[in-house]
Structure 1
Amino acid sequence: MLSNSSLAPPLKKGGKVAEHYAGRFAPSPTGPLHFGSLITAVASYCDAKAHQGQWIVRIEDTDIPRIYPNSEEHILKCLDAFEFESDVEIIYQRQRLDLYESVLEQLKQNNLVYACECTRKMLGSNHIYAGTCREKHLDFQNQAIRIKVSAQNICFNDRLQGQHCSNLQHDLGDFVLKRRDGIINYQLAVVVDDYLQGMTHVVRGADLLDNTERQIWLGQCLGYPKLEYMHLPLAMNDQGQKLSKQNLAHAIDTQHAPELLLQAITALGQPPVDLDQPHQMLAQAVAQWDIQKIPKGTELNAIFV
């Protein structure tokens, strides 16, 4: 595993997904894990193990001001209670900031990014960035850093959701990789770490579906290999909202790990497993894993609390 002081990989030509399988579960410690997180953990684990691949845990905590007290401890407690085990040492993104900075330097040297002085107040409600600062050639110090996008369709074939496309210039505009306050954006950190950790497959919630074209574009700019994606339907509450920390979804109760694990496996449309120790239940779920049985669409019909 690369150490925090390791240099970022050089730019190179993109390649095909590797023959082996490496997947990950990458929660953000902005609150305790909830049932929707468990569904993602189960699906990513089962898909990796059903392909005789690696399952890797990563804590995505670059947004340091939003880290919720004790949430990292809760994540690790949940992993232990459900008897998930990462195949490599768990990494924490906030300990790898120098790696992301070195990748930004590569992008600067290749004239793929620029400094932006626009504030949220200046941008107003317009969610499509018009490239206001692209030709200003501002100094990077104390400014946001945006990556240049082009007016081309970026498409990928999601293993569950099917074909998905976006023209980033028309739909979004140049997007931020580093904020004015110095915080590394999620889009940059996730792309760099997926590459450095040798990821081949990404299994995550459908709420991140629209992030994918941005990450594909950034990966192309850096010459990283292509990934395979599968975006899972989201667990919903009785208000019709996705289960999330922002919507105050209940924290996972680790004292009921077997029962909750069975519920997650069932929510994914998989054949039932025997109520047992979590590692036995997971092994049975892996042996029966079939993505064709996962409910279609971006939302699960059942209500979860």
Structure 2
Amino acid sequence: MRIGIDLGGTKIELAAFDEGGQTLLRRREATPQADYAASVEAIGRLVEAAESELGAAGSVGVGIPGAESLPDGRIKNANSTWLIGRLFRQDLQARLQREVRLANDANCFALSEAIDGAGRGAEMVFGVILGTGVGAGIVVRQRVVAGINRIAGEWGHNPLPLLHEESVPPLPCYCGRLGCVETWLSGPSMATDHWRYCGESLSAEEICARAADGETAADETLWRYERRLAKALAGVVNILDPDVIVLGGGLSNIERLYETVPRLWQEHIFSPTVLTRLCRNVHGDSSGVRGAAWLWNEA
């Protein structure tokens, strides 16, 4: 039995799977925000309760919104800031009395989609999360590529390419840099862009709904978003040349992205023919927890 944990900023989700990938049990509870010890304990309780209910012990993989530093094992780059600097994997292993595997949540998403999702059978999958933030993971031959600095796939904290094309100035990112991809392509960033151009405060969901109804201002905001996404993903294709790019997160539900973005990225990719496929995820919100469980597929 494989147990996956998705530790998010607002919720902790657990799912248990059999060896064939069938879901045996799923549970979630609120994340004890800003309380590190309570977060470790909550995961411990969820695992123990799941194993008691199913009558079996399982391997445990955990996805987190951050990364484990290779030199000392401490957590870095975490949106859930109470994890930063902590020996999270070691503490969780002590609580559960077993080995635990840990990965960035975007890596877990990409792994799930590479194994039995939209990237099934592909040599290389680049899995993108477009939501309240922007993240990505790289999977090659169904193995996560973490990188020596454990930042492989941190595409959201590169600058947006061809920034001179933009008619509004770049915004500061929470990471301390200016004009990161995340500041242009997250859901809140779409809302900010619409306000900067139109003076109207709408959520990304409202903008997309109005664009679908034919409202010109909303359609123009969505077009700007598509152009920026195409430029940013073209850089990924030029460097990694993945077979498949899979989109996840709330903005992955914008149907027109899958037709418009591949048409627009052609201008920026160093190849007259682009065979890379842009796909919607298969497993939706479950991809993160599934990918965490599949960390135990790796030797």
TM over 0.5: same fold? no
Which structure: greater helix fraction? Answer: 2
